[in-house]
Amino acid sequence: MEELNIAPQTQSEPVPGAAFEPAIVAFVCNWCTYTAADLAGTSRMVQSPNVRLVRMMCTGMVDPKYIIKALLGGADAVLISGCHPGDCHYINGNYKARRRVKLLMEILPRFGIDGRRIKLTWVGASEGNEFAATVNRFAAEIKELGPIDTRRLPLL
């Protein structure tokens, strides 16, 4: 098996003259936010094309390593989204995710990553409109923030 090296950045390379199109990874749980994304699609709610969904069974399985890997591997931002508090299909996985993301947000700035590049939201299965709005809002925020420059991170 090939070693898991970090792929070179492509999407977020600033092309002179072209508007910055961020690449965003969204780790979403199967039961709520992924379902909401399906509903947003079925209802043809236009979304910015910058977000790539990675389907997880629950936000509780989103290892902080995955978030860091995404940021170092080409994503300008990471969205983690699951069921509303109390609604997690696995009782309380989302509370665990919340704790973990909070810790991560405290640590990442020390390595030069802006905390605004990580967002945790709750989007329930029936909230297609909320999903589309979240995606569009986040994409706009990251466009504003500009590309991540991992080469200049003290971490590397």
Partner 1 sequence: MPSRIGVYVCHCGTNIAGRVDSAGVARHAAGLKNVAVARDYKFMCSDPGQDMIIKDIREMGLTRVVVASCSPRLHEKTFQKACQRGGLNPFLFQMTCIREHCSWVVVDPAEATAKAKSLVAGAVSRVNEHEELYSRVEAVHPDVLVVGGGIAGIQAALDIARSGHKVHLVERGPSIGGHMTQFDKTFPTLDCAACISTPKMVAVSQEPNINLMTMSEVVEVKGYVGNYTARIRTRPRYIDQNRCTGCGLCMEKCPKSVPSEFEEGIGQRKAIHRNSPQSVPNTPIIDPASCIYLVKGKCGSCQKNCPSQAIDFTQEESYLDVRAGTIVLATGFDILDPTALSQYGFGRYPEVYTGLQFERLNNAVGPTGGKIVMKNGQAPESVAIVHCVGSRDKNHHEYCSRVCCMYALKYDHLIKDKIGHHARVYNFYIDMRCFGKGYEEFYRRVQDEGVIFIRGRPSEVTDQTQGPEEAGKLIVVAEDTLLGRPVRVAVDMVVLCTAMQPRSNAAEVARIFGISQGQDGFFLEEHPKLGPVSTATDGIFLAGTCQGPKDIPDAVAHASGGAGQALSLAARGEVSISPTVSWINPDICIGCKMCVGLCAYSAIEYDERRRVCVINEAMCKGCGSCAGHCPSGAAQVRHFNEKQVFAELEGLFAPAQPVRQPVASSAT
**Binding region for ligand FES (CB under 6 A):** 29, 31-32, 58-60, 82-83, 88-90, 93-94
Q: Which stretch binds partner 1 (CB under 8 A): 84-92, 104-112, 113-121, 146-154?
A: 84-92
Report residue 43 as tokens.
């209802």
| Burial grade of 156 (CB within 10 A; 0-12, 13-18, 19 or more) | exposed
**3-class DSSP state of 56:** strand
| Residue 82: its H or E element | strand 77-82
Q: Which parts of 103-122 interact with partner 1 (CB under 8 A)? A: none
- Between CA 144 and CA 1 the distance in angstroms is 39
Question: Which of 84/143 has CB closer to ligand FES?
Answer: 84
Nearer to ligand FES among residue 32 and residue 75 (C-beta): 32
Q: How far is the CB of 112 from ligand FES (least distance, A)?
A: 29
- Smallest separation (angstroms) from partner 1 to the CB of 78: 10
Which CB, 89 or 143, lies closer to ligand FES? 89
Report d(CA 152, CA 156) in Å as an integer: 8
Structure tokens at 116: 């605004």
Tell me how far, at minimum, the Cβ of 142 lies from partner 1, in Å.
15
